[in-house]
Amino acid sequence: MNKSSDGERSIGIGVNRFTIFGLVTFILVLIATYMSLVVAPLEAVQGVHQKIFYIHVPLAFIAYASITVVLIASIAFLTTKNPKWDRLARISAEIGILSTTIVLFSGSLWGRPVWGAWWSWSDARLVTTLVMWLIYMGYLMLRSLGGSNNQTAKVSSIIGILGFINVPITYFSVYLWTYLHPLPTLQSSTERPESSILMPFLWSFLAYSAVIILIGIVRIKIEKSSDELETLKKQNQIG
């Protein structure tokens, strides 16, 4: 295993591990799409529209996971004052926003043919998901406008912690205030999910998790390179 000039681990044929991971991720997405659109059976009531489930639900799980990372990293930053945790919180919030955006538009495009409406302000799951999106958009706007000082990092961490309160409310909203959004298909206590639905779901979850990890790796690389650039500029009094 060699190390190239830009710090990438190479497997000795001039291809680094990041490129291989990118290729594997792309293949995973192709398999997941095939499994979802071709292999997964047509649902009796919703028909072809149920296939949106294989994008909507994995990305909802990823969004919850990302926002949980924001919570953990924010607590760790306030406790340790280590800027690494602050960077992790910011990157996770970006990923959370990206995933939630896809969840919102896929849900809307699923709702239109099945419920006959793009959106309903009466549905608690829809509204709390939008609130979650707005909280973390606010978080990122504060980070963007407040600059990279310690005060902004502290205030953002507090928002990152308090904003998490909305996550369990969003998750349990379908049990508390049932309206349009159905109960979770994969966790129903009365019936187990069929393997014909479960396998495409697991492939989709794996594939989209890999895409998100890839995005996270590139974001971390950008943060590291930007820090190095800023440090060099300061040391040499440039810019």
Partner 1 sequence: MEQSITDFNPIYVYVVYALTWVVLFGYLYYLAKKQKSIETQLQDLKNIIDSTKP
Binding site for partner 1 (CB under 8 A): 6, 29, 33, 37, 42-44, 46-49, 51-52, 55-56, 59, 98, 101-102, 105-106, 109-110, 112-113, 208, 211, 214-215, 218-219, 221-222, 225-226, 228-229, 232-233, 236, 238
For residue 14, the tally of other CB atoms under 10 A from its CB is 9
Q: State in angstroms the smallest separation of the CB of 187 from partner 1.
A: 22
State both tokens at 8: 């990438």
Three-state secondary structure of 8-25: CEECCCCCEHHHHHHHHH
How far apart CA 45 and CA 147 sit, in angstroms, is 51
Q: State in angstroms the smallest separation of the CB of 235 from partner 1.
A: 9
The residue (of 67 and 157) whose beta carbon lies closer to partner 1 is 67
The residue (of 168 and 230) whose beta carbon lies closer to partner 1 is 230
In which element (H, E) is residue 57 found?
helix 53-80
Q: State in angstroms the smallest separation of the CB of 144 from partner 1.
A: 15
Q: State in angstroms the smallest separation of the CB of 42 from partner 1.
A: 5
Q: State in angstroms the smallest separation of the CB of 52 from partner 1.
A: 5
User: DSSP code of 45?
Assistant: T
Question: What are the angstrom distances between the C-alpha of 92 and each of 85, 89, 121, 168, 209?
Answer: 10, 5, 28, 18, 13
The residue (of 81 and 224) whose beta carbon lies closer to partner 1 is 224
Q: Quick check: 143 and 77 in contact, CB under 8 A?
A: no
Backbone angles phi, psi at 123, to 5 degrees: -90, 120
